[in-house]
Amino acid sequence: MSAHTPGMVCSHHHLYSSLARGMPGPTSTPNNFTEILQNIWWKLDAALDPDIVYWSAALGAAEALLAGTTAIIDHHESPFSIEGSLDLIADACDFIGVRHILAYGVTDRWSDQGSLVTVLPSDAMTDAAYRGLEENKRYALTGRRSMVGVHAAFTCTDETLENVSELSRELGIGVHIHVAEALEDADAGSRLEKFAHDNWLLVHAVHLDRALPGFIAHNPRSNVNNSVGYARPAQRDSTVVLGTDGIGADMLEEFRLSFVRHREDDRNASPDVSWQWLQNGYLFFPEALNDKVTWSYDYVDDPWKTAFTPGIRCLDVVIDGQPLVHNGVPVHFDLDEVRAKASEQAARLFARMS
Ligand SMILES: [Zn+2]
């Protein structure tokens, strides 16, 4: 029994979506997954600029830290503000104090004329995809930890996927990619089969029709929210990790959700399985095992108890021996100031979207 754990790891995040809460609603009701992307998320990421990227990341990182999450694997896209965007996110995470592995999501969905297009595998690689690839390379060569990001196979040409795979081999780092999240991307398995490696991070895999090498990032809340179906991660041989897909970074909450989704599918499911998915995040951030989080519940390290105890709060966080949160309050930054700056940028973001 303990009120302590190591730092939590969020293995798939989109810090750029921290300001999405309260954004203008879609002009028409989305009828499928592609329309959710077109009418909501692709409008948001197209409106991002450097100040919005920085403060969105700072707010998301602050909320993560206050939830006991000390390490984040982020997947970023800002198609009209690509160059240098990963440095801004790294700076924001460093200011807050959370560990990070960043990636820029390469995609061919923006034509060279700047309009959204349907991508055919046989199309030529776009300029925007090339620039996204360069951002991944530039950032990786600064020596900070990263992966090569890809939005998803269905918005990329074969030429782009080949270049991504080549860059990841050249840099010796994995690829962070959404895989078969919805039926629209159901042929991801056949397109990625010849490229995927053990160091790839395959996000969602809800409709993946075959085994691919790499980790699977399971995001139960996001999958429910987007109505894409249940991923059944327990039925795969891959090592599974847990992410939030941009909806905060409260990993105990995501653990509980992953357990009840598992139970809904299999009444004999044990929370030990979901707890292991949470622990697998340390394969990416072994140093987070030395971070210390104190919780408001004395049995937080017991999966069977925590699975049935909503509302456990993070009280203290110590990273690298430094106290960063004490009694639920950040020690070295002013949360009200971060919220105020983020709120200014949210107003700018919403104006740019409308
Ligand atoms: Zn995602």
Give this prediction's pTM: 0.97
Q: The domain 4-353 belongs to what CATH superfamily?
A: Metal-dependent hydrolases (3.20.20.140)
**Ligand 1 centre distance from Cα of residue 316 (Å):** 28
Residue 150, judged by CB atoms within 10 A of its CB (0-12, 13-18, 19+), counts as buried
**Ligand 1 centre distance from Cα of residue 205 (Å):** 11
pLDDT class for 77, splitting at 50, 70, 90?
A: very high
Q: Where are the domains of the chain?
A: 4-353
Helix (H, G, I), strand (E, B) or coil at 216: strand
**Ligand 1 centre distance from Cα of residue 295 (Å):** 28
**Ligand 1 centre distance from Cα of residue 119 (Å):** 19
**Ligand 1 centre distance from Cα of residue 20 (Å):** 14
**Ligand 1 centre distance from Cα of residue 246 (Å):** 7
Q: Which of 47-61, 89-103, 105-119, 169-183 shows the lowest per-residue confidence on average (mean pLDDT)?
A: 105-119
Say if CB 228 and CB 182 are below 8 A apart: yes
**Ligand 1 centre distance from Cα of residue 12 (Å):** 6
Residue 312 region, left (φ>0) first, then alpha (ψ -120 to 50), else beta? beta
**Ligand 1 centre distance from Cα of residue 323 (Å):** 30
Q: Over the chain, what is the mean pLDDT?
A: 96
130-164 pLDDT, tens digit per residue, is: 999 999 999 999 999 999 999 999 999 999 999 99
Task: Specify the pLDDT at position 266.
Answer: 98
**Ligand 1 centre distance from Cα of residue 322 (Å):** 31
